[in-house]
Structure 1
Amino acid sequence: MLKKAFFGLLHTLGYHSRYTSVLHHPGKRSLRPSYVLDFDDAEKAFLEDSARSFNYAIDYSLGYRQKELYLVRLQDVQLLGNSGALVLDGKVVVESVGEVSRLAKSDAFKEVSLLLPKKRVGRYTSVLFLPWADHNNYHWFFDCLSRLYLVLEHIQEPIQVIMRRDMAPYQLETMHFVLKGYPQASVSYIGKHEKWQVEEFVLPSFVANAQSGFLPREIANWLRKKVWHGYGVQPNMAKRRIYISRANAKTRRVLNELELLPLLGRYGVEVVRAEELTYQQQVQLFFESEAVMAPHGAGLTNLLFSEQCQVLEFHPANLIKTHYFLLCKALGFRYSAVIGTTGDKLENYTVPVQEVEAWLKDIGV
């Protein structure tokens, strides 16, 4: 009795210490089976370098499996407004927060917060993924919006998409862009300190894997076209070459960037600071770019909106991340990497200028 009361108090405070899975739930509907990507020798070598830099915690050189895509219809579940996590019979649904390794980092497990209960009748879905997608465009597009494709293309009945009003403006904008053309869908806004008990919930699987921007081509194209159309992207015959600078960032800065600037100028490469642009301007810029250079960072998420381009990404030797290599793989873009020195405690590092110049020569003037 005391144990039940204890867990009841924790649940009232928005904290759940146990989890459950719905992978074998009777309401699950498989939409597309998993499959494995093929890599050539050069790609495998890059993936091996990445795996080594992370002590083989993730090793895609052994094979990258695009996960199964599915929907699960659930009855009488709670959605937590502070995290987007689902709770079924007092336990957090693993598939609503991505994977088991993220559970301990989710507000559903680590944050005690009074959440006001509200009942909601009808059919709902949500792709909230907090705190990761909070003002982070990588997680927003790959872990949130991409999942809506599964719902909107396969659920014809009326359905309400649960969203937070306090998300970044570009997130609210792009959410409405993807909903256009789907009259069955509308938006309902939940507060950070609310938890909704919903009559029926449709849970979409996550599409992207950890450290991966890979999306199946039909989902990537759907998302690209929705955002292009929503922001009114205009074709431009004069293609651009850009370098995304992190000079104003706190982490992952290129310490010898000043050495690169004269070289970039000789090859007609513009230096861009994404934080100085509106999101519409960022989308337009990447759409126009035929070559993109940048240190690893969320700014490269906008490669999703390039029409066609070549990519050079910088990495510190001890943190070689695969997110945008796999995005380029999905989009058919030519991807290259330059590996710099070992990063310091803020992941700052220097890059070999001669390798950058060799890549610029290779792509031509």
Structure 2
Amino acid sequence: MSLSPHLPVRLGVLLGEQPSPLLLHRAVRTADPAYPSLGAVGQAGMAALGLFDPWRREIPGGTGESHLVVLDTPLVLSGTGVVALCDGRVIEDTLDHLGDADGAVRDADGRWRLPTQAPGLPGVWLSLLLGGRGNWFHLMLMNLSRIALLDANEARSIEGILVPVGLSPNGRRLLERCVARFCAAFDRPWPRIIELGDGEAVRPQRLVLPWNVASEVRFHQPSLQFLRGLAPAVPARTLRVYVDRRGAALRPLRDEDAVAERLAGAGFLIARLEEMGFDAQVSLFAEAALVVAPHGAGLSNLAFSAPGTRVIELMPHRLTQWCYRRLCAAHGLFYEGVIGEQAPGPPGVAPFAVLPQQLDWALRLADAGAPR
């Protein structure tokens, strides 16, 4: 495979170029929901631990915008969907979460070397390729939900879809459900699907590239509604669920045996998502009236929860990652945080603990029966 150097360029720069290499561009700005400040559980728990710091209660401001662009004869590389324009420049945004084995090589001077030859694909192709595809949050909320950015004309023009190779069984089921909903919504036949693996490259005649439906600031709400449409309608939601992470290697919750036992005694269903198929997970979150869970990718399934579902997230104090708080705000869910003290070490890895009284507060909140 012959290689040549390419310089990266940000998508935002391309949008301002004249003439632009983009044949079509649509930007979609969604309403900015009111993000809830942490309530009694989060604030009082942090104060009890001596961890109170006001900045942790707020979500940084800013603007989030989703984009859909159509590119003429680009090069598309690997399951992460690295995109190089026909003039040789690489769209730098598509290098996010690039793995070591994803087929692109960085030169010592920072340039990317990509294959100059690749099989051509006639027609219009949709890219659902993205880095981090092994993470449920990335696959569901950042990747496959991008299909909701297409309008009717764009959807009917698609001849095929590019997807990552090596999806898990649950990932493949999610892909199937998303494509089926896409086809039904626009009354169109099932498209051809090509799985792209590490180091493989293709050159579509035209590429439809949806982008940024789950930014650092806000979620694209139609994409969340698209995912919610995969869930069954549940007339009466009474289920209380605790998402058990005792099988997770990262950020173990200390004394989780005692946490699970206490919640089970309070009527919670203890669910191990890694032991459940995709459809069972969808039904679980659709039926839940209350979800209590340590921070983790399993909370991405809140996309299937109905408006008004109450969510209590257990969070290490050094990993105040508000992605699910933002998801709840955009999706009409009630959110409360329980902030626990984390041991020294990398925030994404080190264990943490919550106080017994914090669990008591969470249970009282659950027993209240309605959002504050």
Q: Distance in 2 between matches of 1:97 and 1:343?
A: 32
State the TM-score, normalized to the length of structure 1. Answer: 0.80
Letter in 1 for 2:221: R
Shift of 1:27: 2.5
State the TM-score, normalized to the length of structure 2. Answer: 0.78
2:221 alignment partner in structure 1:
217
Shift of 1:154: 5.0
CA deviations on 1:203-249 (whole Å, 9 max, x unpaired) are: 11211113x6x433332112211x22xxxx46374621111111111
Q: Give me the identity figure in percent.
A: 24
1:91 alignment partner in structure 2:
89
Letter in 2 for 1:274: L
Shift of 1:253: 1.1
Q: Distance in 2 between matches of 1:59 and 1:336?
A: 11
* Structure 1 residue matching 2:167: 3-state secondary structure: coil
Q: Which of 26, 29, 35 matches 1:30? A: 26
Question: Pairwise mapping of residues 156-235 of structure 1 onto structure 2 (< 5 A)?
Answer: 156-179=156-179, 180-181=183-184, 182=186, 183=188, 186-192=191-197, 193-210=199-216, 214-225=218-229, 227-228=230-231, 233=232, 235=234
Aligned residue pairs total 336
Question: Pairwise mapping of residues 1-365 of structure 1 onto structure 2 (< 5 A)?
Answer: 9-11=2-4, 18-21=8-11, 22-24=14-16, 25=20, 26-33=22-29, 36-39=32-35, 42=38, 61-65=59-63, 67-88=64-85, 89-97=87-95, 107=102, 108-109=104-105, 117-130=118-131, 132-134=132-134, 136-151=135-150, 153=152, 155=154, 156-179=156-179, 180-181=183-184, 182=186, 183=188, 186-192=191-197, 193-210=199-216, 214-225=218-229, 227-228=230-231, 233=232, 235=234, 237=236, 239-308=238-307, 309-345=309-345, 346-364=349-367
Letter in 1 for 2:80: S
**CA pair 140-154 structure 1, distance change in 2 beyond 3 A:** farther
RMSD: 3.4
* Structure 1 residue matching 2:248: 3-state secondary structure: coil
Contact residue 97 and residue 106 of structure 1 kept, 8 A: no
Greater helix proportion:
1
Shift of 1:148: 0.9
**CA pair 280-40 structure 1, distance change in 2 beyond 3 A:** closer
Greater relative contact order (Cα < 8 A, sep 6+): 2
* Structure 1 residue matching 2:157: 3-state secondary structure: coil
Structure 1's unaligned 5+ residue stretches are 1-7
Contact residue 311 and residue 336 of structure 1 kept, 8 A: yes
* Structure 2 residue matching 1:364: 3-state secondary structure: helix
CA deviations on 1:238-294 (whole Å, 9 max, x unpaired) are: 621111111111111111213323421331112211111111111111111111111
